[in-house]
Structure 1
Amino acid sequence: MAQRNVPVSSRLGDVRYEIRGALSRRARELEAEGREIIRLNIGNPGLFGFSVPVHVRAAVESRLAQSEAYCHQQGLMAAREAIAARETARGAFGAHAENVFIGNGVSELIDLTLRALLNSSEEVLLPSPDYPLWSAATVLNGGRARYYPCPASRGHLPDPDEVESLITPRTRALVLINPNNPTGAVYPTDLLKALVRVAERHRLLLLSDEIYDGILYDQAAFQPLAPLAGDLPCVTYSGLSKMHRACGYRVGWISLSGADSKLAEFRSALDLLSALRLCANVPTQWGVAPAINGPDTTAALTSPGGRLYEARRAVIEGVRNSEFLSVVEPQGALYAFPSVRNEHFSQFDDETFALDLLETENVLVVPGTGFNIRERNHFRLTLLPEPDQIADVFDRIERCLDRLAAGSKARARHVA
């Protein structure tokens, strides 16, 4: 008797992660054929020549002999105390080491917190565009994603009234990604205060993804959410991956803030789930306190003349010189989210464009729809390459768009 295919969870039908999806697989096939692909799909600093700060790496290396046993399910106390002290210094209400949980990257902690929070069909408010792991974790934990739009016409910022209009009796949480991935938007303080008031009126848990909190350009100012939330329950996410260029270390953390009486049951659920996966990667947790308390190694990269700043400048100039593109200049994070002006195309499709760019110009970007937006004219690229390479990439993008525009005009003439 022939064996039937192994069935999979129906929830996977609503899960996408185009950052490492079909286009990335096609890029690997082309690389196997000998093509050199410029991969701009992932914000992975180590692949672009960035290094973990020396003092962070040294701390990890010096503690290897003390890292061979499981640690506490919440993480090493020295790391948790450093995280809590930073949150307290920022003004977070009730931040302390017992309210800090360390995980194998923020990715694991997004999944863990939503698993602790959600019952079947309960809703989470997510930005559109979002980082798609948030959508995936919501669905995989039985929830439903409801998207509040952050369009380019508003500088990729949300409208608090629009967010509030989406709330239903089943809404449990409001997610903010600030500085934003994929758009690079940095949220003003007044906007954050308005969103806190929305959460307070509807008793929503605030989930604030702040992994890019120190990667800022052109005098942009980052405002952490927890101090504004006061005693309202808030979960702040951060880690070593981006600010400290340590993606492979897989160290992320969450800090709970707000009134302990409101957090007790949720905190117990997080403790149980943390215990079930035993603990996070122990050796690299020794790098947390030195990273938080040590010298600032990011400002030089994001200031004029710094590599990230100049890469961002190259993106802005590439868009400015393009016949087809526009962009909201990123104020933070490691990405830009350009859009293709639709007047040049009878019908533009971001996935078709991204595949054509890969096949003809050897450049891998992520289609905008991979970040859960309806518009089909955006794409995301990382700011991590050298500025000269980014300039070359925009030459390739322009050639690709020029061919697509010519084809679109030819089809329009044929139809006419």
Structure 2
Amino acid sequence: MGILSEKLSSVKPSQTKAMTERAASLRAEGKQVITLSQGEPDFQTPDRICQAAIEAIRAGHTKYTAVAGIQSLRKAVIAKFQRENSLNFTLDQVTVGCGAKQLLFNALLASLDEGDEVVFPTPCWVSYPEIVKLAGGVPAPVETRVENGFIMTPDDLRSAITDKTKWLMLNSPSNPTGAVYSREDLEDLAAVLRDYPDVWVLSDDIYEHLVYGDTEFCTMAEIAPDLASRTLTVNGVSKSYAMTGWRVGYAGGPAELIKAMNTVQGQSTSHTCSIAQHAAVAALNGDQSFIREFRDAFKKRRDQVVGLLNQIPGLSCKAPDGAFYVFAECQGLLGTRAPSGKVLATDMDFALYLMEEAGVAVVPGSGFLADGFIRISYASSEEELANACAAISNAVSRLSRTQGAA
């Protein structure tokens, strides 16, 4: 009998982490690699947030805290939800975890029985189907379409719901596509959900502040207050505040579910880092103007990358409305032959070719359950992005058509 569980045998490692680690390995060998595979802002955490952490250490806030988080942070979360999303929670309706990812895991582990289904649109974040499987559930991916802006339609949702459906997981702005669900989109989905009172909504809002132009961010519990009693709203400080390594996420929802999530967390990590919690208080309560500066910089980089990629034969993409990723279609390059003689049959082959020949790390779309794409993070400097796109262009120009390839 082997040591690994049958459950784990069906779970795949994160392709985003795998490509980033491969890039680090190549750099350790002395090779130049530009890493555009990781969803991490290149900005430094704002100084006032770092100072709050230093002050917390000096004040002796280095002991255990409540599993759900320190009260001052939960109050800051409550204030944030009310201020920005018109959502009203009490202390027992919010919780803090070691990043938004842990809160997603806690919620699913606390609520799924074997065979329960979780619906989510694809392309999706790489961890969604794997977390569902680890929690004992069954992933129920729903394919969306490029021509529809990668948005799940009401008909898509209705067709996916069965008598085993427990959750709808919705990530807006989306990783990897940058798609943002409009107010009308959410109202249409809410209309479907009203016909299925046993289906809960998990709203993953981690990229909330990273929307561009006239795009409006909305969240389900705000748009459909009558669904709030079966909606969990998850967010965190990682992306908007450049605090990925601090590992602080937060969630608001029905007290019964939050209590169950705290039970799961209490038997795993306990609370998140006490020092990071104090830094998060400063992040949520303090001046928010730097977020606009981050967003303006991301928009400029987005436009730069979209423009450069669309000049490369075989690649095409639209400007995303949110997050900091470009999801570029590479179907036109599949079936081509690399200078080594290898045929690039899949998006993984193409991604590995870019890694090894162009020195650029991207993530294949298959990792997001969408074959024929690559995800490129533009959370890097304009100079680095320009160099990366030039290297990609050069690498693509060295590909040749195989006999019979389109």
**TM-score (normalised: structure 1):** 0.89
Q: Does 1:229 align with 2:233?
A: no
Counterpart amino acid of residue 54 in structure 1: D
The partner residue of 2:326 within 325, 336, 343 is: 336
Q: Does 1:291 align with 2:247?
A: no
Q: Distance in 1 between matches of 2:210 and 2:85?
A: 20
Shift, 1:91, TM fit: 5.2
The answer to whether the Cα contact below 8 Å between 1:348 and 1:377 also exists between their aligned partners in 2 is no
**Which aligned pairs between 1:63-74 and structure 2 lie closer than 5 A?**
63-64=56-57, 65-74=59-68
Shift, 1:393, TM fit: 1.3
The answer to whether the Cα contact below 8 Å between 2:10 and 2:133 also exists between their aligned partners in 1 is no
Shift, 1:267, TM fit: 3.2
Q: Distance in 1 between matches of 2:375 and 2:96?
A: 29
The answer to whether the Cα contact below 8 Å between 1:15 and 1:135 also exists between their aligned partners in 2 is no
Shift, 1:348, TM fit: 4.7
Q: Distance in 1 between matches of 2:145 and 2:348?
A: 19
Shift, 1:100, TM fit: 0.7
Shift, 1:148, TM fit: 1.5
Shift, 1:189, TM fit: 0.4
Aligned-residue Cα RMSD (Å) equals 2.1
Counterpart amino acid of residue 382 in structure 1: S
Shift, 1:128, TM fit: 0.4
Q: Distance in 1 between matches of 2:103 and 2:347?
A: 31
Q: Does 1:120 align with 2:114?
A: yes
- DSSP-derived class of the 1:201 partner: coil
Go from structure 1 to structure 2 and tell me whether the alpha carbon gap of 1:120 and 1:333 turns closer, same or farther (over 3 Å shift).
Answer: same
Counterpart amino acid of residue 261 in structure 2: L
Q: Does 1:42 align with 2:38?
A: yes
Shift, 1:341, TM fit: 4.6
Q: Structure 2: where are the runs of 5+ without partners?
A: 337-343
- DSSP-derived class of the 2:187 partner: helix
Shift, 1:357, TM fit: 0.8
Go from structure 1 to structure 2 and tell me whether the alpha carbon gap of 1:73 and 1:231 turns closer, same or farther (over 3 Å shift).
Answer: farther
Q: Distance in 1 between matches of 2:218 and 2:201?
A: 15
Q: Structure 1: where are the runs of 5+ without partners?
A: 257-262
Same amino acid, percent of matched pairs = 27
Once the two structures are superposed, residues 46-71 of structure 1 have per-residue CA deviations (whole angstroms, 9 ceiling, x without a partner) of xx3x1111221111211113322211
Shift, 1:388, TM fit: 2.3
Shift, 1:92, TM fit: 4.6
Q: Distance in 2 between matches of 1:337 and 1:323?
A: 16
Q: Does 1:309 align with 2:306?
A: no
Once the two structures are superposed, residues 287-344 of structure 1 have per-residue CA deviations (whole angstroms, 9 ceiling, x without a partner) of 22321222221112323xxx32221121111123222211121111111111125388
Counterpart amino acid of residue 37 in structure 2: N
The answer to whether the Cα contact below 8 Å between 1:12 and 1:140 also exists between their aligned partners in 2 is no
Equivalenced residues, count: 393
**TM-score (normalised: structure 2):** 0.91
- DSSP-derived class of the 2:242 partner: coil
Go from structure 1 to structure 2 and tell me whether the alpha carbon gap of 1:98 and 1:194 turns closer, same or farther (over 3 Å shift).
Answer: same
Q: Does 1:174 align with 2:168?
A: yes
Counterpart amino acid of residue 397 in structure 1: I
Q: Find the counterpart in structure 1 of residue 265 from structure 2.
A: 274
